[in-house]
């Protein structure tokens, strides 16, 4: 061992996300801090290298807002991704969280190993429609089946951005792209797939709808298992023609909110009586947070799985761009709970003495094989 000490300047986080869709930050009078005493820049990441105007950058900004507003400790969160433009984005938010950029389509398996090893961490995964819907479809389905507790965001642009404009599994049927030609196949509906795989939190949104995305992220954070957010996130370079269901124009003109909701995090003390109307439906999440669905009768009831499936089927057939909370079932136990590792000490912190059984136990085994 040499005496040299490992020192490295930490990259100082810069909030410099070139993004035309993101609302300009309003400069606070005094440096505002959240309930754990961190300022919003503490949730920033590196400078983005994505194209100007890419929907993915808006989502990074919305993640920063949501986690800042919730007062999430960056040290207790891990960021995960696969491969793609979308999957690059964990480098562009929350530098103070550990991040892991895995293989194309294989983030779910890495997430499973990491979050079973330390179930006290909250995972936030960012993937693309190619990463999840094509190469990673199998792992996506198995992740949902196991109900690993994490937020799983699909930044869905209906195209492969990073490899320059090929069709993905969510491309519109009949769509024509410059190099890829015509797509003859049915798109896969990531939300529908999530519901039928047993996922207990399924939402769709639009990267241009910051308010909705932020609310959904907060709700997803409170979910007991895997929370899927299928966020339409336009690729300005390869798939932003107005007739594409993944374009900005389409998003702005067709966004159809299936429900309105409020979110009461578990650390806020508000009693049910505070909710005004009797038709409001309150869904209590496993961590005690509450989702208040305003006037459910008028819209979609996300606790009804059959209604959720029908809604997705109808929307796909009628090319309706539905957004909001499609399905929620806060009760299914997560993988860590099922694996019984849900005690106070994560596997990663089990002391060495408990990892190696005693000599006496080996002596006994040896004697038994004689």
Ligand X SMILES: Cc1ncc(C[n+]2csc(CCOP(=O)(O)OP(=O)(O)O)c2C)c(N)n1
Minimum separation from the CB atom of position 251 to ligand SF4 (A): 14
Contact residue for ligand X among 44, 114, 125, 131 (CB under 6 A)? 131
Stretch of 62-70, 94-102, 251-259, 267-275 lying at the interface with other proteins (CB under 8 A): 94-102
Report d(CA 342, CA 338) in Å as an integer: 8
Question: Residue 370 binds which one of other proteins, ligand X, Mg ion, none, with CB within 5 to 8 A depending on kind?
Answer: other proteins
Site string for ligand SF4, 211-250 (x = CB under 6 A): ------------------------xxxx------------
Contact residue for other proteins among 34, 117, 284, 294 (CB under 8 A)? 117
Report d(CA 130, CA 86) in Å as an integer: 10
Judge whether 231 and 144 are in contact, CB under 8 Å. Answer: no
Q: Count how many Cα atoms sit within 13 Å of the Cα of residue 115 in the half-sphere of its side chain.
A: 31
Residues 52-81 that bind ligand SF4 (CB under 6 A): 54, 56
318 vs 354, beta carbon nearer other proteins: 354
Stretch of 13-21, 78-86, 320-328, 341-349 lying at the interface with ligand X (CB under 6 A): 78-86
For residue 330, with 0-12 CB atoms within 10 Å meaning exposed, 13-18 middle and 19 or more buried, which class applies? buried
Report d(CA 163, CA 170) in Å as an integer: 16
Judge whether 161 and 238 are in contact, CB under 8 Å. Answer: yes
Contact residue for ligand SF4 among 45, 74, 82, 161 (CB under 6 A)? 161
Contact residue for ligand SF4 among 89, 157, 205, 289 (CB under 6 A)? 157
- Is residue 251 helix, strand or coil? helix
Sign of the CA dihedral running 278, 284, 288, 291:
negative
- Is residue 69 helix, strand or coil? helix
**DSSP label at residue 131:** I
Reference 153, options 129, 175, 185; nearest CA is 129
- Contact between 210 and ligand SF4 per CB under 6 A: no
Question: Residue 130 binds which one of ligand X, ligand SF4, other proteins, none, with CB within 5 to 8 A depending on kind?
Answer: ligand X
Residues 119-178 that bind other proteins (CB under 8 A): 120-121, 138-139, 142
Question: Residue 51 binds which one of ligand SF4, other proteins, Mg ion, none, with CB within 5 to 8 A depending on kind?
Answer: ligand SF4
- Is residue 282 helix, strand or coil? strand
What is the CA angle 24-229-91, rounded to 5?
A: 55
**DSSP label at residue 93:** B
Positions touching ligand SF4 (CB under 6 A) are 50-51, 54, 56, 85, 157, 161-162, 235-238
Positions touching other proteins (CB under 8 A) are 1-2, 4-11, 74-76, 78, 90-91, 95-103, 106, 108-118, 120-121, 138-139, 142, 339-341, 343, 345-350, 352, 354-357, 359, 361-362, 365-366, 369-370
């Amino acid at each position: 061992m040499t005496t040299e000490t490992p020192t490295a300047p930490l990259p100082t986080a810069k909030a410099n996300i070139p993004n035309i869709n993101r609302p300009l930050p309003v400069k606070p009078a005094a440096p505002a801090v959240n309930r754990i005493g961190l300022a919003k820049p503490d949730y920033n990441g590196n400078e983005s290298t994505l194209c100007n105007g890419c929907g993915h950058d808006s989502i990074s900004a919305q993640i920063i807002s949501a986690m800042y507003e919730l007062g999430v400790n960056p040290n207790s969160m891990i960021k995960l991704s696969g491969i793609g433009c979308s999957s690059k984005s964990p480098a562009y938010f929350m530098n103070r969280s550990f991040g892991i950029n895995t293989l194309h389509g294989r983030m779910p398996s890495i997430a499973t190993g990491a979050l079973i090893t330390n179930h006290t961490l909250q995972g936030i995964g960012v993937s693309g429609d190619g990463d999840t819907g094509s190469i990673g479809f199998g792992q996506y389905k198995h992740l949902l089946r196991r109900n690993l507790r994490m937020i799983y965001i699909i930044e869905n642009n209906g195209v492969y951005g990073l490899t320059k404009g090929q069709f993905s599994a969510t491309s519109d049927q009949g769509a024509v792209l410059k190099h890829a030609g015509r797509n003859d196949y049915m798109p896969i509906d990531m939300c529908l797939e999530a519901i039928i795989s047993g996922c207990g939190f399924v939402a769709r949104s639009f990267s241009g709808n910051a308010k909705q995305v932020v609310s959904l992220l907060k709700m997803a954070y409170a979910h007991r298992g895997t929370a899927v957010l299928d966020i339409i996130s336009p690729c300005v370079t390869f798939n932003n023609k107005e007739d594409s269901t993944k374009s900005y124009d389409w998003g702005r003109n067709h966004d159809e909110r299936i429900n309105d909701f409020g979110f009461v995090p578990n650390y806020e003390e508000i009693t049910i009586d505070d909710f005004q109307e009797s038709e409001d439906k309150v869904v209590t999440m496993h961590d005690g947070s509450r989702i208040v669905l305003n006037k459910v009768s008028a819209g979609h009831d996300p606790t009804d799985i059959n209604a959720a499936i029908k809604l997705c089927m109808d929307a796909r057939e009628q090319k309706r761009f539905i957004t909001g909370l499609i399905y929620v079932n806060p009760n299914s136990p997560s993988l860590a709970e099922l694996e019984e590792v849900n005690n106070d000490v994560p596997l990663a912190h089990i002391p060495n003495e408990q990892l190696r059984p005693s000599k006496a136990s080996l002596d006994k085994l040896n004697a038994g094989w004689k």
